[in-house]
Amino acid sequence: MIFTRRHFLKLATAFGLSTNAGPLLAKPGSTSSGPARKPVVISTWDFGLQANKLAFNLLQQGQRAVDAVQQGVMLTEADPTERSVGYGGRPDRDGKVTLDACIMDEFANIGAVAVLQHIKHPVAVARAVMEHTPHVMLVGQGALDFALEQGFVRENLLTPESEQEWRQWLKDANYRPVVNIENHDTIGMLALDSHGNLAGACTTSGMAFKMHGRVGDSPIIGAGLYVDNEVGAATATGHGEEVIRVTGSFLVVELMRQGFSPQQACEQAVQRIYHKLKLRQGNIADTQIGFIALNKQGEHGSYCLQPGFNFALQHAGSAQLHAASALLAS
Ligand code: ASP
């Protein structure tokens, strides 16, 4: 997602800021791990600022990281103007809004849903899968049946704006994800709570106009999200197929286990994807990948393939949007 004026004005209103982006948008390169701290919450893209605010409030009240991240990303899921997550998300090529989400707590409890239709809060369904089934992932009709059994309400998630865009797309029906432009994007959120525990959540409508049934990285534990409460947590955004290929978020956490800082771990993972992409297809211009990571000490990291990925970070006294540094020059 590019940091558009529309997004800035929305954020400025929410945070009572002037329309001078200075104090909100930190300088590129200032994103390396800061001093250890807790509680802390970090999430992908500019919609993360508002989601973090909600999550951080809960963390400050002493709530668990898993509850904070769930509630935080649900804010984005409910916002019809965010066209890449939840309600109002862009549909697949058949005009169906299909959602992917997962959640992971400090005990390695996991829950996920994929290709879920008609339910505004896929992350809450993922949480219910985690807590009320012997399984870790439900997909498609099975996920919908389960959600309805659990009392979730069936809704139409296709807003007139998304429908209009889909009808426009149908004219040449060319599937072409665009780097940093919001025809895809995910909110991935990681938190370290005041008890020192980590959790994460990840939710998206995936790539706009994808094939019906396509599943990206976001609901796949290890790809779109991974949490190891002894080490750290990571989440991903961008072209899910590439993230899945290297089990991206698990890779970032394992690199932290080996002693890399969150920043170095994100850099290594992006470099791995870059290397594989170059070997496989040569052209990387149309691919974006972004990772964020948080370790047990509350230090964070972020890195992306192409410039343009930003993330939101909130801890005591600071709530900022940061531009992630990128492997490739702009
Ligand atoms: N990773 C998401 C997917 O592949 C999309 C995104 O984050 O841009 O579905």
Atom of ligand 1 nearest to the CA of 241: 4
Q: What is the per-residue pLDDT across 92-146, written as a single tens digit (0 to 9) for each?
A: 999 999 999 999 999 999 999 999 999 999 999 999 999 999 999 999 999 999 9
7 within a domain of the structure (yes/no)? no
Q: Which residue has the tokens 């990291």?
A: 301
Domain of 199, CATH number, reads: 3.60.20.30
- The conformation of residue 17, written as its DSSP 8-state character, comes to -
Is any ligand 1 atom within 6 A of the Cβ of residue 262?
no
Is any ligand 1 atom within 6 A of the Cβ of residue 185?
yes
Q: Which H/E stretch holds residue 66?
A: helix 65-77
328 within a domain of the structure (yes/no)? no
pLDDT confidence of residue 37? 83
Q: Determine the Cα–Cα distance for residues 8 and 196; give it in Å rounded to an integer.
A: 32
261 within a domain of the structure (yes/no)? yes
Candidates 261, 323, 319, 264; CA nearest to 41 is 319
In a 13 Å sphere around the CA of 285, the CA atoms on its Cβ side amount to 2
What's the 155 CA to ligand 1 centre distance in angstroms? Answer: 23
What's the 269 CA to ligand 1 centre distance in angstroms? Answer: 16
Atom of ligand 1 nearest to the CA of 184: 8
Atom of ligand 1 nearest to the CA of 215: 9
Number of domains in the chain: 1
Tokens of residue 231, six digits: 């080490």
Contacts of 200 (CB under 8 A, 6+ apart): 69, 103, 104, 188, 189, 190, 191, 225, 226, 227, 233, 234, 235
22 within a domain of the structure (yes/no)? no
**What are the angstrom distances between the C-alpha of 295 and each of 201, 259, 273, 283, 301?**
15, 11, 22, 33, 9
9 within a domain of the structure (yes/no)? no
What's the domain range around 112?
42-323
Q: Is 329 exposed, middle or buried (CB count within 10 Å of its CB: 0-12, 13-18, 19+)?
A: exposed
**Phi, psi at 110, each rounded to 5°:** -135, 150
256 within a domain of the structure (yes/no)? yes
15 within a domain of the structure (yes/no)? no
Question: Which of 85, 237, 305 should be mutated for ligand 1, with most atoms under 8 A from CB?
Answer: 237
Q: What is the per-residue pLDDT across 142-171, written as a single tens digit (0 to 9) for each?
A: 999 999 999 999 999 999 999 999 999 999
- Ligand 1 atom 9 nearest Cα: 206
Is any ligand 1 atom within 6 A of the Cβ of residue 235?
no
Share of the chain above pLDDT 90, in %: 78
What's the 240 CA to ligand 1 centre distance in angstroms? Answer: 5
Q: What is the per-residue pLDDT across 239-263, written as a single tens digit (0 to 9) for each?
A: 999 999 999 999 999 999 999 999 9
What's the 53 CA to ligand 1 centre distance in angstroms? Answer: 23
**What are the angstrom distances between the C-alpha of 75 and each of 27, 99, 123?**
27, 15, 11
- The conformation of residue 26, written as its DSSP 8-state character, comes to E
Q: Which residues are catalytic?
A: 186
- Residues in a beta bridge with 237: 290
165 within a domain of the structure (yes/no)? yes
Measured distance between the N- and C-terminal CA atoms of the chain, rounded to whole angstroms = 15
Is any ligand 1 atom within 6 A of the Cβ of residue 182?
no
- pTM for the full predicted model: 0.90
